[in-house]
Amino acid sequence: MTGAPVTLMWVKGSGGDLGTLTEDGLAVLRLDRLRALAGVYPGVEREDEMVAAFDHCLYGKGGAAPSIDTAMHGLVDAAHVDHLHPDAGIALACAADGEKLTAECFGDSVVWVPWRRPGFRLGLDIAAVKEAHPRAIGCVLGGHGITAWGDTSEECERRSLHIVRTAEAFLAERGGPEPFGPVVEGFGPLPEAERRERAAALAPYVRGLASQDAPQVGHFTDAEPVLDFLARAEHPRLAALGTSCPDHFLRTKVRPLVLDLPADAPLDRAVARLRELHTAYREEYAAYYARHATEDSPAMRGADPAIVLVPGVGMFSFGRDKQTARVAGEFYVNAIHVMRGAEAVSSYAPIEESEKFRIEYWELEEAKLRRMPRPKPLATRVALVTGAGSGIGRAIAHRLVAEGACVVVADLDAASAETVAAELGGPDRAVAVAMDVTSEEAIGAGLRAALFAFGGVDLVVNNAGISVSKPLLDTTARDWDVQHTIMARGSFLVAREAARVMIAQGLGGDIVYIVSKNAVFAGPNNIAYSATKADQAHQVRLLAAELGEHGIRVNGVNPDGVVRGSGIFAGGWGAQRAATYGIAEEELGAFYAGRTLLKREVLPEHVADAVFALTGGDLAHTTGLHVPVDAGVAAAFLR
């Protein structure tokens, strides 16, 4: 505005992720104003006030909200400052004699800074370190991570990498063998097939436990570092110490829940023990909160674990969405590497529990949570949609993801399923499975894919179908069997296996059948298709009556005349129905619309709207209902 030059700083905004960072995720501040705040800093007792002061340093619209680490980047007298959490750097930072080890590793090129909660005072401390040690290229922050600086971005990056690689080499050269101790008999990894089978069997129970306070999405890994850690003698002691780096424990919680049984313990014993441990975990977490909370502390957010460790099997991690659950698991793997490095050269000594509480229940963290957008109606829900590679199923999958659900796209055509999953945003939102609904093995594999990808299943849409239009005398036994096997038998099998998971979770659920107007309408040349649709319609009523005690709602949608985008109509059904009515196939959509009361064509998206209406929360007390989506066909009115 004035034409005078102004030095600006771009820094990652609060709650941002470097892996997905865009320009909108950066905060932009005037450096002169930020550094002038040092003259009015009121002291550590009023530390939190400084974050509000950052707002008065913003340039223009300011971009994202400045993070708590803004002072660390802005007060250091360098054009570029990197703050990182590499495993090797945190291992030194969390070693019992980390200051001594840092000096041995780096000499005077990297300086030790004792633990201090992130904030303005830490920024002043690091600025003072750089000024007092002109040869230093960075520092190790006790209990936290590393910071490096440079005159250019390239120099800063080189120095950051030098610190990381030097620390890695130091740990490798100085570290003792087997820092986690010997392998404990019975706690080693199960063979892969057996391990995956046990993980799938445990997953719904574990997710149910982790969702007592609020529904959670899950993630599973049986990566080698996890299995090795859990196989060894020191894992109970180290796991109880919890993670140290603030970025880690904000996502993993103060400590994990660890199953204390050998890998081959009977499933029912493992489930019973997990429930006992979960009760104890909740009690211990409530006691942790009570030990450290003050009258100004935010309310306790929830006492369920975010990380559940099962020796011989792997790790389940949980969060408000798939990305959060996945990152929590990734951070715990990082924590395992940190523990290994610290134990190899010293002993693992994370920051005090009281300091962890101060960060976990920091008002600034609470403010970050308040800035998050309101969850969508289907957030935390995991859906499986059969026949989702095209037509109605594809539209349903798109609508469910748009409303916040994670979706398993199941289709006989694996390539179509993969295409739709990619359209939906990839593995943090949707995964593809090849599923033949006539095969119990394929259905089981599809449900296991949902368990491994998202932790469980809450919502199933039985949409897979096929149709052959023939008069009675031309309908073969094979025509009858094929349609009943895919639709009546297939939807029964999918519903049965999904119900097993839902009951084990104890979180309720939804099963929706995509039926048809033909379930109640007697049309010509359609005996096999209409009969199997009537079968599906009654399955809705039967299952609603049986599964209600488990909080599982079963409803149906009765579409008609969904021509555009339909795989069934494109596969020959359209031509057959057009011939039945004596019209051209391309006129079929308009023909169906013309015979309705509303004179409107029904599209796949309209069916998807009905599925959302049934599952989005507004009809939570409705089960056994069939919703017509046919633009009004009087002969198909339910009576």
Q: How many angstroms separate the CA atoms of 232 and 175, rounded?
A: 17
Q: How many angstroms separate the CA atoms of 69 and 11, rounded?
A: 9
Following CA atoms 327, 328, 330, 332 in sequence, which dihedral angle do they give, to the nearest 10 degrees?
Answer: 160
Q: Which residue in 395, 394, 392, 421 sits closest to 566, CA to CA?
A: 392
| Residue 529 bears catalytic tag | yes
Is the Cβ–Cβ distance between 74 and 126 less than 8 Å? Answer: no
Q: Choosing from 288, 529, 581, 592, which is the catalytic residue?
A: 529
The residues, any chain, with a CB within 8 Å of residue 547's CB and separated by 6 or more, are: 499, 502, 511, 553, 554
- Reduce the secondary structure of 375-419 to three states and give it as a string: CCCCCCCEEEEECCCCHHHHHHHHHHHHCCCEEEEEECCHHHHHH
Q: How many angstroms separate the CA atoms of 17 and 19, rounded?
A: 5
Q: Name the pairing type of β-strands 26-30 and 58-63.
A: antiparallel
Residue 232 DSSP code: B
Percent helix, strand and coil across the chain, each to the nearest 5? 50, 15, 35
DSSP H or E segment with residue 146: strand 145-150
- Locate 295 and state its tokens: 């009258």
Residue 326 DSSP code: H
Following CA atoms 218, 224, 228, 229 in sequence, which dihedral angle do they give, to the nearest 10 degrees?
Answer: -40
Q: How many angstroms separate the CA atoms of 243 and 281, rounded?
A: 16
Is the Cβ–Cβ distance between 150 and 77 less than 8 Å? Answer: no
Q: Which residue in 233, 225, 223, 177 sits closest to 199, CA to CA?
A: 223
- Locate 293 and state its tokens: 């909370």
Please report the DSSP string for 548-613 in residue order. Answer: GGGTEEEEEEEE----TT-HHIIIIIHHHHHHHHTS-GGGHHHHHHHTSSS-----HHHHHHHHHH
- Locate 493 and state its tokens: 């099998």
Using the CB atoms, write b or e for 257-296: b if 16+ within 10 Å.
bbbebebebeeeebbeebeebbeebbeebeebbeebeeee
Q: How many angstroms separate the CA atoms of 480 and 477, rounded?
A: 5
Number of Cβ atoms within 10 Å of the Cβ of 214? 13
Q: How many angstroms separate the CA atoms of 251 and 55, rounded?
A: 26
DSSP H or E segment with residue 433: strand 430-434
Q: Which residue in 254, 273, 350, 349 sits closest to 311, CA to CA?
A: 273
Alpha helix stretches (DSSP H) within 455-489: 477-483
Residues linked to residue 512 through DSSP beta bridges, in sequence order: 461, 555
Is the Cβ–Cβ distance between 616 and 376 less than 8 Å? Answer: no
3 φ, ψ to 5°? 85, -10
Catalogue the active-site residues.
529
